[in-house]
Amino acid sequence: MNYIQLEKLGEGTYATVYKGRSRATNEIVALKEIHLDPEEGTPSTAIREISLMKELNHPNILHLHDVIHTENKLVLVFEYCEQDLKRYMDTHGVRGALDPATVRSFMYQLLRGTAYCHDNRVLHRDLKPQNLLINRKGELKIGDFGLARAYGVPVNTYSNEVVTLWYRAPDVLMGSRNYDAAIDIWSCGCIMAEMITGMPLFRGRDNPDQLLAIMKIIGTPEDRVIKKMAQETPDIQFKTYPRFPKVPWPNILPGASAQACDLIDRLLQFDPTSRPNALDALFHPYFTDPTAHHPNSTNVPQPVPVGVMPAPVFHMLPNGQSVYMPQPSNAPGTRAAAPQPYQYAAMNDPNMARHPAYSEQGHPPPFAGQPIHPPQYAQVPAYAYGQHVHPQAHMPAQAAPQQQQQQQQPQQPAVYPVPGYPQYPGR
């Protein structure tokens, strides 16, 4: 084999994961060894994971480098990430809770990766902190596509034994087999709340108990909502549930900003057709408003001084540049306003209706938050605000004539094609 095993990272029912090194490039990788049963052959989860991940290429999707098939085992070679989100929360959070800027950065990356999957007609169906990996740059990668599957024509009926219980959407808990991308959106909302509080939001023992746990927080939906869901999905039967009032999100998420509570409320809608798709969620003011992660405050965070600081995370702007340090709205050279209004697209649209900016630009909106700073990593030189940023991205409302002239002829970065996007910029 062209890879050297270094140490065991974890072990599951069907596979063992090792840290490894490529003999050819000396690159550190993760080796997922799946032991094959001579009678049963290759597990269906492995076949599904390989077939889907070979087609996905995105900065927030764990990259599958290679597949090695021998007589008694199957080895999947992935890019290496230091830890999963659950371990990151336990290590760097306060009783598991992460700071607001880190939550916002991770949610932005999670929704970017999820939007890319859905745009390529892939449902992950098992989004949870243990399946989200964090590398030393602070980049989040969606991994473990063992339960994922392509959706749409010709099959639109699926198993309802998907998604780890605490992150399972209510429509799936009620028996729906005609779900769509909305089940991943629900999981994203659960993950966001868990990053804020340090604890899983809904902790049921089984399907009925999980459904009650959900209703005790977001409230019991009106009968008309359940009837509507039953009419749209034959597997859901109308029944009367105990009446629980909705608990205000500030009571559940103390210290969270109003924008954070609003985004979670939209992601965790009982009716799947009321949830935004992942791309629309990226246009929520929680991401586009620089003040959104400061609870009860209109003050804009001050720029971080140039100096030495931990490695920041990359964020991609619509114009194609990777930005190290997004600017606050009162900093010199900042953009004047959010790039596009926030709106929803129909979740059940077979053509996956897109936000107008996505059709024109091919990218989510710029991220207006501060980068995360993993505390355990080596320190590297920081970049000043605006450095390595395309002029169009942060141009003030009334620029000087010289700036306007420069804006008209920006230098375009190199690009390389990625499935699902017109062009994706190189970094």
Place of tokens 């450095």: 387
Question: Hey, how many other C-beta atoms are within 10 angstroms of the C-beta on 26?
Answer: 8
Residue 248 burial class via C-beta count within 10 angstroms: exposed 0-12, middle 13-18, buried 19 and up: exposed
Distances (CA, A) of 23 to 47, 60, 79, 136, 304: 26, 26, 15, 22, 40
Which residues does residue 123 pair with via DSSP β-bridges, in sequence order?
149
- Judge if the upstream peptide bond of residue 154 is cis by omega within 30 degrees of 0: yes
In the set 126, 180, 280, 289, the catalytic residue is 126
What CA dihedral angle connects 410, 416, 419 and 424, to 10 degrees? -30
Q: Tell me if 262 sits within 8 A of 203, measured CB to CB.
A: no
Is 126 an annotated catalytic residue? yes
Cβ-contact 313, 377 below 8 angstroms? no
Exposed/middle/buried for residue 334 (C-beta within 10 Å: 0-12, 13-18, 19+) = buried
Alpha carbons 18 and 67: distance in angstroms, whole number: 15
**Separation of alpha carbons 2 and 24, rounded Å:** 7
CA 173 – CA 398 distance, rounded (Å): 53
Q: Is 284 left (phi over 0), alpha (psi -120 to 50) or beta?
A: beta
Amino acid at site 88: Y
Dihedral sign of CA atoms 46, 182, 175, 213 in order: positive
32 is in an annotated binding site: yes
- Helix ranges (H only) for 26-148 are 44-53, 85-92, 100-119
Active site (catalytic) residues: 126
The annotation places the binding site for ATP at 32
